[in-house]
Chains A and B, each alone.
Chain A
């Protein structure tokens, strides 16, 4: 629906897909009370005919004793199946894909979609539901332990994407869905709540993982710069493996920038994702040239990180996530 080089707005339709027919099987023989092999003699329409909802498809009667009819439950095109069954094919409306972010169409991928280039701040979650939402970012402080409480989610938050350090109360999810909150971005939540978000169709993104780890201040401070700005929460895609992402279009890039994959070097700010210091944020102080023996006896490549009150810990490369690359 768009061309390469075209400027688009967030609500521009960029692609349209013809959906497959909806199929409905009718057991006409059962409906008429006749043997499957004899069903066709009772049809009042021909295979290939189009019928409207309520049209007569077949009827049968036995003298004055009974008279039965089968009507079309939906509009559709009739096709014979077998054994007294017929198939109704109903065209579905086409599905449309909107840009969701303003920008420039860089590339059109035939039969797939488009690549749009935009200037934005971007946060990729470690987990997210598959639902999709847009709205202004609203930061919620939570209680003294930084838990988002049910009382903090209500009609006033309708239409917003809420950001909080962490959540554990299922009531929060229920209220968010009921009050039409457009998304939830937190550091962590218990896994049953993640399932609840998915079932209720609530867009959600988690930065740290499942459990109780709060969103680090460095991430929260970055998001604070965009409070009340319009954002898009793209849901996770199981088919492609794409994780949920929060995109704030036309935003100046904050100091905190998530670097997807790079060589870790001294001075980088990293998050440790496993071990005794899981969830800790620290500064890389040393990158050994070869593997290091861990407490478990394994030889692994990794880095030394200063966390907390300056404690020096070793983390395997696969157990660190770079938050800010070296200055």
Chain B
């Protein structure tokens, strides 16, 4: 029997809610490399309503770009690769094209378990359509409750309540009511139930519910009043998204048949990649992904991984719901020109109507980036709210802890040729501290790499290292607040070619010092005595060897947290100067 050779060539697919991105991966001189990429609008909605149509269009484009036959005469993908070089050995796919899971939370007490479960649902990208607290004399089985549960059934019911070893009967009562309410509903329309409450109640509740529902039990979200544990519930919700929501995508069956591995949810795949990136950095990594309908933020540090993927927050079809959630002001504050609230609403609405459009003016670009900041603020906030026990000082200031690497992706962040816009958006939304590097997923590869890692870890790592990380630059961001214009720090850059550049940076400024991609330099930084550049001590200087990138070295001396402006004029002037520092000539209104 002939030995089967391992796959060498792949088509890696990411079917998003707006666009389908594909990449052709093949071995080049023994190393897995990206050969070509293509994209096409996702065809999940009517009148096409078949995700494989958009995928096939993207593959046809990929054929043209790569000058390689990938489809046979009937339009089917050629798998495995032929001796002639046509086709590929395998296809791997991820998707986030399904709408968010609709969840109802049934809990013991409004403030504690239900709040924790709500945070977990939000972080997992699920929609909480109703919260039903059950507490003592409160009878919450009202007509509205019934409507939420039965007439518009959720996909998942999350049952929470009680610390471990607490009372069992209220949960059992709720379980019995749920079983009776759904017993006449066709089984395929019944929700799944995830129990994340009192450990003592797990078995009796399972006995009541598992004959009627698909039932899973995970760790209590509140094992005690002081402890919150959301990870297992989040993970279970992601699994439910893959099993329930993704499998309902029109054309899913055909896609699964072609792929060599189960289709992962994009956030799971991206999470795998973020953990890999974080494991390679001493201070860990933070990753952000701004999509059309969902925004992700993930933090991998000290072997821990925390993440949030907030649904209905994004810069495409979710633009209107984003503005509804955060308010027009949260967008307007990031624009270099004043814009009336009505116009912000209309622009966001128009973007939501045509999510495939791309910006063709600086005006449109800045608007999209303003929405990206607002989206990221929500997602990063959701990660921070997970009570992760990070440094108390940073928690108090609503900052993330120090990381070495910021990884950014998503339509408005990944597809722009303007590194400066992406850099400023990440600086504003993530507010990194100390010394960091920013990398960008220019080719929309990261979720696919996460999926590829399941099939061929080596190919995934090689692809990541060689083709998937566009270095935007090195960031230096001190923590603390001074008066505007006060000298914040002095930086000395020793280039490898012998040049030495020395620069004082005033508080409130952003300064860019060129250092080309592929180059390295030694830097010395001497901060003001009231500023900390990430050493943990105010006023303490530091040395480092840094890498170049599209923007080189960027010193963000605006302080942390970034102070608000005193007035609209002040805000506009500052925005323009920051944009100018990063390569934009905003100047007078245009």
Contacts and interface: CB of A to CB of B under 8 A. Distances in A.
Interface stretch (A62-70, A98-106, A294-302): A294-302
Given A274-B357, A274-B364, A296-B417, A20 B45 contact: no
A261 B451 CA distance: 31
B566 interface: no
Can you list the 5 inter-chain pairs with the closest CB atoms, starting with the nearest? Answer: A241-B45, A275-B360, A297-B417, A210-B349, A209-B350
Interface in B36-67: 41, 44-47, 49
B458 to A, nearest CB: 32
A131 to B, nearest CB: 18
Interface stretch (B136-144, B211-219, B401-409): B136-144
B417 A240 contact: no
Nearest to A188: B346
B347 interface: yes
A71 interface: no
Interface of A: 20-21, 23-25, 27, 30, 79-83, 85, 87, 89, 126-127, 190-192, 194, 209-212, 237, 240-242, 260, 273-276, 294-300, 314-316, 318-319
Interface residues of B, number: 45
B144 to A, nearest CB: 11
Contacts of A296: 359-362, 365, 416-418
B305 to A, nearest CB: 33
Nearest to B139: A27
Given A192-B342, A210-B346, A316-B357, 13 more contacts: A81-B177, A87-B180, A126-B354, A191-B345, A210-B350, A211-B350, A240-B46, A241-B45, A241-B49, A273-B357, A275-B359, A297-B418, A298-B416
A88 B348 CA distance: 45
Interface of B: 41, 44-47, 49, 139, 141-143, 145-146, 150-151, 173, 176-177, 180-181, 184-185, 320, 342-343, 345-350, 353-354, 356-362, 364-365, 415-418
Contact of A23 (B44, B47, B150, B353): B150
B139 A30 contact: yes
Contacts of A275: 359-361, 364
20 contacts: A21-B184, A25-B141, A30-B139, A80-B180, A82-B180, A83-B177, A85-B177, A126-B354, A191-B349, A209-B354, A210-B350, A211-B346, A240-B45, A241-B45, A273-B357, A274-B359, A296-B360, A296-B361, A296-B418, A316-B357
A81 B141 CA distance: 10
B133 to A, nearest CB: 15
Contacts of A21: 184
Contacts of A315: 360
A209 B353 contact: yes
A81 B180 contact: yes
Given A191-B345, A240-B45, A297-B418, A85 B139 contact: yes
A24 B346 CA distance: 41
A297 B359 CA distance: 11
Nearest to B142: A25
Contacts of B320: 191
Contacts of A127: 349, 353
Chain A at the B interface: mostly helix, strand, loop or mixed?
Answer: mixed
Contact of B360 (A83, A190, A242, A276): A276
Nearest to A26: B141
B181 A23 contact: yes
A127 B349 CA distance: 9
Contact of A319 (B44, B143, B345, B357): B357
Contacts of B365: 296
A192 B49 CA distance: 30
Contact of B173 (A82, A212, A274): A82
B46 A241 contact: yes
B355 to A, nearest CB: 9
B349 A209 contact: yes
A146 B358 CA distance: 29
Nearest to B151: A20
B180 A210 contact: no
Given A23-B150, A82-B176, A296-B416, A87 B181 contact: yes
Contacts of B47: 242, 260
Contact of A298 (B151, B176, B415): B415
Contact of B146 (A23, A27, A260, A274): A23
Nearest to A299: B417
B177 A82 contact: yes
Contacts of A82: 173, 176-177, 180
A315 B357 CA distance: 10
Nearest to B353: A126
Contacts of A242: 45-47
Nearest to A25: B141
B407 to A, nearest CB: 21
B342 A85 contact: no
B312 to A, nearest CB: 12
A82 to B, nearest CB: 5
B494 to A, nearest CB: 31
B342 A190 contact: yes
A305 to B, nearest CB: 12
A10 to B, nearest CB: 21
A17 B113 CA distance: 39
Contacts of B139: 27, 30, 85
Contacts of A25: 141-143, 145-146
Contacts of B151: 20
A296 B419 CA distance: 11
A85 B185 CA distance: 20
